[in-house]
Amino acid sequence: MKDVVIIGAGVTGTSVAYNLSKYKGDFLVVEKHADVCEETTKANSGICHGGYDAVPGSMKAKMNVEGNHMMRKLADELSFPYKQIGTLVLCHDEKDFPNLQKLYDQGIENGVGGMKIIYNEEILAMEPNVEEDVYAALLCEEAGIVDPFLMNVAYAEGSNLNGVDYKLNTEITEIIPEDDHYKLITADGEEILTKAVVNAAGLYADQIHDKLLGDNKFEIRARRGEYLLLDKATDGFVSHVLFNLPTEKGKGILVTPTIDGNTLIGPTSDFVDDKSDLVTTREAIEQVIEKVNDTVENVPVRQVITSFSGNRAHETGGDFVLEESKKGFFDCVGIESPGLTSAPAIGKYMAGLVKESLSLEDNRDFKPGRKPIPKTSEMDKDTHNELIKENPKYGKIICRCEQVTEGEIVDAIHAPVGARTVDGIKRRCRATAGRCQGGFCLPSIIEILARELDVDEEEITKKGKDSFYIEKRVK
């Protein structure tokens, strides 16, 4: 009998897990995919929002601001990259200025700090590539960027080190209430008994809710956003996260540095019927390229190295739903933007609800943090040489674009809740994430995964089920 089962291993579910591990109990995270960070968390802007655009008094506003204020300490504790670079909301026409002022006032009401309104000359001094006729901008110094993959992975590793179990490739198909517990049925027919359930299933949280309650209380629609990622040669093109002030023409396209020195532009925003549909389209890519010129000038689109899309879980009520819907059944529903920023606060809040409901005691053995994978590309020569002396694998470059060594890939595989797929390697140490997108290093990564997992190379996948690289060998 488990004390708590968390359904979903995105950043929300793993944050809940990490915060729950501060209490005594038998906790399990179940995830239908082959790895953590396989749905919304893997495909977003990587922005730590300030919280000025959330409706005052909403759960989004509360969680956003609190999560933002927790981020720096948490990034240090769990060793994931975070930079407080600030955001600029650009107002291009003086007639729209009252809306910019409203955004500032709303931020003040929400408790956002470090905000001020600046004008043309100061904006262009900070961001020379902004459209030169820009009138004003809202600067929020509390906002920043984060690595969403490593944040998710760090939560998973930190919770696992503190006793939380993870069961991947496990889809929950039925939830049956018993006298004082729940029986979860998996797609493989396995039964999991638990005193409580946390529904952190993202796009599918409405369906998980209905497996138990069947009241159609929530409706989650998938809102797809498509992005373009530019090569690291564009590092410095912008130094802040740039948004356009929403107007009657729409929100426009954001431009932001990534935590690793790329430039990211996008997203589009379109509802799609199929929640699993993550295609990218020519029409959307052309839309991004066209609209980004309203934000900045001379975007080096010839430096695009890949496109991708992600679906957001938009609950038609418009706000986060964080509650105990039935005794022992906890919903985290409608976690869309600013869900990444809000995750630290959501995890703390939901763990508190569970603690109170189950009367959990503090875990005095809890140890914060986790040991990150060494990033040899950022080491000085002497430190790197010492590491090579300890393990020669840190001296063999596998991914030349990102300067990732064999030692780092092996570490990613053998870490708590370690990588089992090529995408899992990419998110933990960036191998295949560079300019060639795995064109040269992929065969070596497949070989290393097979060797370390003691399986045939034919069994290695990109992202789990039905994503095999090798169908059969030629004899």
The C-alpha R_g of the chain, in whole angstroms, comes to: 22
Q: Are 102 and 249 in contact (CB under 8 A)?
A: no
- pLDDT tens for the 475 residues of the chain, in order: 999 999 999 999 999 999 999 999 999 999 999 999 999 999 999 999 999 999 999 999 999 999 999 999 999 999 999 999 999 999 999 999 999 999 999 999 999 999 999 999 999 999 999 999 999 999 999 999 999 999 999 999 999 999 999 999 999 999 999 999 999 999 999 999 999 999 999 999 999 999 999 999 999 999 999 999 999 999 999 999 999 998 655 567 999 999 999 999 999 999 999 999 999 999 999 999 999 998 999 999 999 999 999 999 999 999 999 999 999 999 999 999 999 999 999 999 999 999 999 999 999 999 999 999 999 999 999 999 999 999 999 999 999 999 999 999 999 999 999 999 999 999 999 999 999 999 999 999 999 999 999 999 999 999 998 899 987 655 4
The angle formed by the CA atoms of residues 387, 389 and 390, to the nearest 5 degrees, is 65
Rounded to 10°, the helix 339-358/59-78 angle is 90
Based on the domain organization, do 228 and 365 belong to the same domain?
no
Entry pTM? 0.96
Q: What total of structural domains would you count in the chain?
A: 3
Gap between the Cα atoms of 347 and 260, Å rounded? 26
The angle formed by the CA atoms of residues 106, 109 and 111, to the nearest 5 degrees, is 110
Based on the domain organization, do 305 and 267 belong to the same domain?
yes
Based on the domain organization, do 363 and 380 belong to the same domain?
no
Kindly state the tokens that stand for 268: 């589009």
Q: Which domain holds residue 115?
A: 87-141+221-311
- Say if 473 falls within a structural domain: no
Range list of H helices, 22-142: 59-78, 97-110, 120-126
Q: Measured on CA atoms in the order 211, 215, 216, 220, is the torsion positive or negative? A: negative
Based on the domain organization, do 130 and 26 belong to the same domain?
no
Measured CA to CA in angstroms, residue 62 lies from 100, 144, 205, 213, 341 at distances of: 21, 18, 21, 27, 11
End position of a domain, from candidates 272, 288, 311: 311
- Residues in contact with 438: Cβ distance below 8 Å, sequence separation at least 6, in sequence order: 399, 422, 426, 431, 432, 445
Based on the domain organization, do 64 and 149 belong to the same domain?
yes
- Say if 467 falls within a structural domain: no
- Say if 444 falls within a structural domain: yes
Based on the domain organization, do 454 and 389 belong to the same domain?
yes
Give the burial class of 274: count Cβ atoms within 10 A of its Cβ; 0-12 exposed, 13-18 middle, 19 or more buried.
exposed
Based on the domain organization, do 184 and 171 belong to the same domain?
yes
- Say if 338 falls within a structural domain: yes
Q: Are 130 and 87 in contact (CB under 8 A)?
A: no
End position of a domain, from candidates 261, 276, 311: 311
Is residue 304 classed as helix, strand or coil in its secondary structure? Answer: strand
Based on the domain organization, do 76 and 213 belong to the same domain?
yes
Based on the domain organization, do 122 and 229 belong to the same domain?
yes
End position of a domain, from candidates 340, 357, 372: 372
Based on the domain organization, do 368 and 380 belong to the same domain?
no
Q: Nearest-CA neighbor of 429 among 36, 31, 72, 153?
A: 153
Q: Are 254 and 227 in contact (CB under 8 A)?
A: no
Kindly state the tokens that stand for 45: 């802007």
- Say if 393 falls within a structural domain: yes
CB pairs under 8 A, 24+ apart, for 425-430?
A: 425/449, 427/35, 427/37, 427/42, 427/149, 427/150, 427/152, 427/153, 428/149, 428/150, 428/153, 428/373, 429/373, 429/375, 429/404, 430/260, 430/399, 430/402, 430/404
DSSP 373: P
- Say if 470 falls within a structural domain: no
Residues noted as catalytic = 49
Q: Are 432 and 441 in contact (CB under 8 A)?
A: yes
Given this model, what pLDDT does residue 317 score?
A: 94
Q: What's the CATH number where 340 sits? A: 3.50.50.60
Based on the domain organization, do 69 and 149 belong to the same domain?
yes
- Say if 474 falls within a structural domain: no
Given this model, what pLDDT does residue 471 score?
A: 77
- Say if 469 falls within a structural domain: no
Establish how many alpha carbons lie within 13 A of residue 416's alpha carbon, considering only the half-sphere containing its beta carbon. 19
Based on the domain organization, do 23 and 74 belong to the same domain?
yes
Q: What's the CATH number where 434 sits? A: 1.10.10
Is residue 212 classed as helix, strand or coil in its secondary structure? Answer: helix
